[in-house]
């Protein structure tokens, strides 16, 4: 099956910063994909390029087979999209905005929209400008979902929602993917991402530093901690195929986050002169995120499963 989203070497130079620095990405249909990154990592910029609101400085991308730079309206007609700050016509009521949006789509749109508004317990004749932040988010989500798009792109979709609504919304995203539709969401909420995503990518300073199946990532990244007899002692890097995500020294203790560790490497480390008290365990996704976004040596996995390590300046 061909990917729903393909990005090749996307860059975005703004006057004062490089928001994207060569992003490669492939997202398969029928999956929930989560883009993780710190503030300012470039998530919104990438989403704006994929939805045709921003032209990249260089590189190419296809969304459902269409180049958003060439035909942004065709891309946006075919997808459901909620930005991080949805702009809605404030002077309309909840019902009016649904009726207005419905004029661009088939008859089912209004039925689905009204059903969603009822489920979210929003009063249809309330003015948009009088809605709370969470209610606005619910209206924006209802509009994005009402034409039942094959691809849904959501920038921080749950930021205004309370925990109960958040949970049921995320569960509904898993159901969507199970019917072959694709969900692309950006988030800071690692615990939420863990519950719903099939694949994730971590964006750090405009580069994707980790990309792959969540199940595989959760099983392949390890935290290794050991002590050295002398804080100045040099210890050799773990050999290939190990890939170091980050290394930290605190006095005589060293902590390494590493991908593709095997037990012989731990045995060798235990045999190393001056190294004592070696312990290791699987890293949590949160630890992996911190390691990927604070370490110097970082890696990128291609969709084919090969991975490479590179250094971020």
Ligand X SMILES: Nc1ncnc2c1ncn2[C@@H]1O[C@H](COP(=O)(O)OP(=O)(O)OP(=O)(O)O)[C@@H](O)[C@H]1O
- The contact pattern for ligand X, residues 82-121, with x = CB under 6 A and - = no contact, is --x-------------------------------------
- Phi/psi for 182 (5° steps) reads -120, 140
User: At its nearest, how many Å lie between ligand X and the CB of residue 33?
Assistant: 16
Closest-CA residue to 192 (of 26, 36, 8)? 36
Q: Which of 17, 73, 178, 215 contacts ligand X by CB under 6 A?
A: 17
Peptide bond into 241 cis (omega under 30): yes
User: At its nearest, how many Å lie between ligand X and the CB of residue 141?
Assistant: 18
Q: Which of 21, 43, 176, 254 contacts ligand X by CB under 6 A?
A: 43
C-alpha radius of gyration, the chain, whole number: 22
User: At its nearest, how many Å lie between ligand X and the CB of residue 293?
Assistant: 11
Q: Is 31 in the site for ligand X (CB under 6 A)?
A: no
Q: Is 158 in the site for ligand X (CB under 6 A)?
A: no
Cα–Cα distance measured from residue 184 to residue 34, given in angstroms and rounded to the nearest whole number: 6
User: At its nearest, how many Å lie between ligand X and the CB of residue 313?
Assistant: 16
Q: How many CA atoms lie within 13 A of 257 on its CB side?
A: 24
Paired sense of beta strands 79-82 and 151-155, if any: parallel
Here the tokens at position 65 are 């087979």
Measured from the CB atom, is 54 or 220 closer to ligand X? 54
User: At its nearest, how many Å lie between ligand X and the CB of residue 203?
Assistant: 7
Q: Is 39 in the site for ligand X (CB under 6 A)?
A: yes
Here the tokens at position 43 are 């998530």
User: At its nearest, how many Å lie between ligand X and the CB of residue 41?
Assistant: 4
Measured from the CB atom, is 47 or 122 closer to ligand X? 47
Measured from the CB atom, is 32 or 41 closer to ligand X? 41
Q: Which of 31, 44, 51, 246 contacts ligand X by CB under 6 A?
A: 44
Cα–Cα distance measured from residue 70 to residue 72, given in angstroms and rounded to the nearest whole number: 6
Q: Is 157 in the site for ligand X (CB under 6 A)?
A: no
Considering only residues 277 to 306 of the shown chain, the ones binding ligand X according to CB under 6 A are none
Q: Which of 10, 25, 27, 42 contacts ligand X by CB under 6 A?
A: 42
Considering only residues 66 to 85 of the shown chain, the ones binding ligand X according to CB under 6 A are 84
Q: Which of 5, 34, 45, 98 contacts ligand X by CB under 6 A?
A: 45
Cβ count near 120 (within 10 Å): 19
State the distance between the two ends of the chain, measured CA to CA, in whole angstroms: 36
Closest-CA residue to 229 (of 254, 247, 208, 265)? 254
Distances (CA, A) of 311 to 204, 295, 305: 12, 9, 19
Cα–Cα distance measured from residue 310 to residue 5, given in angstroms and rounded to the nearest whole number: 24
Asked if residue 204 lies in contact with residue 22, where contact means CB atoms within 8 angstroms, the answer is no
Q: Which of 2, 14, 55, 119 contacts ligand X by CB under 6 A?
A: 14
Asked if residue 23 lies in contact with residue 35, where contact means CB atoms within 8 angstroms, the answer is no
42-50, 69-77, 254-262, 292-300 -> range binding ligand X (CB under 6 A): 42-50
**Residues of the shown chain interacting with ligand X in the complex, contacts defined by CB under 6 A:** 14, 17, 19, 37, 39-45, 84
């Amino acid at each position: 099956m061909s990917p729903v989203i393909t990005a090749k070497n996307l860059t975005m130079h703004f006057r004062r910063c490089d928001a994207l620095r060569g992003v490669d990405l492939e997202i398969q249909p029928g999956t929930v994909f989560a883009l993780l990154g710190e503030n300012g990592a470039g998530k919104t910029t990438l989403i704006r390029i994929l939805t045709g609101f921003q032209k990249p400085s260089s590189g190419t991308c296809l969304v459902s087979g269409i180049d958003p730079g060439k035909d942004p309206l065709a891309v946006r007609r075919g997808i459901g999209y909620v930005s991080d700050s949805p702009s809605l016509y404030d002077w309309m009521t909840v019902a009016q905005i649904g009726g207005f949006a419905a004029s661009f789509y088939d008859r089912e749109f209004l039925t689905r929209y009204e059903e969603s508004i009822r489920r979210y317990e929003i009063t249809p004749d309330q003015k948009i400008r009088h809605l709370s932040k969470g209610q606005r988010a619910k209206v924006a989500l209802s509009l994005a979902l009402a034409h039942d798009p094959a691809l849904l792109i959501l920038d921080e979709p749950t930021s205004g929602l309370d925990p109960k609504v958040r949970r049921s919304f995320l569960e509904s995203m898993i159901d969507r993917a199970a019917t072959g539709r694709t969900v692309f969401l950006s988030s800071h909420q690692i615990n939420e991402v863990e519950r719903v995503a099939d694949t994730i990518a971590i964006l750090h300073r405009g580069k994707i530093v980790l990309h792959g199946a969540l199940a595989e990532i959760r099983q392949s990244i390890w935290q290794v901690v050991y002590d050295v007899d002398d804080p100045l002692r040099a210890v050799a890097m773990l050999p290939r195929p190990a890939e170091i995500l980050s290394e930290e020294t605190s006095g005589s203790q060293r902590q390494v986050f590493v991908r593709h560790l095997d037990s012989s490497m731990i045995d060798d480390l235990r045999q190393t002169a001056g190294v004592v008290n070696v312990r290791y365990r699987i890293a949590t996704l949160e630890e992996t995120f911190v390691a990927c976004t604070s370490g110097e040596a970082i890696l990128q996995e291609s969709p084919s499963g090969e991975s490479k390590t590179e250094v971020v300046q």
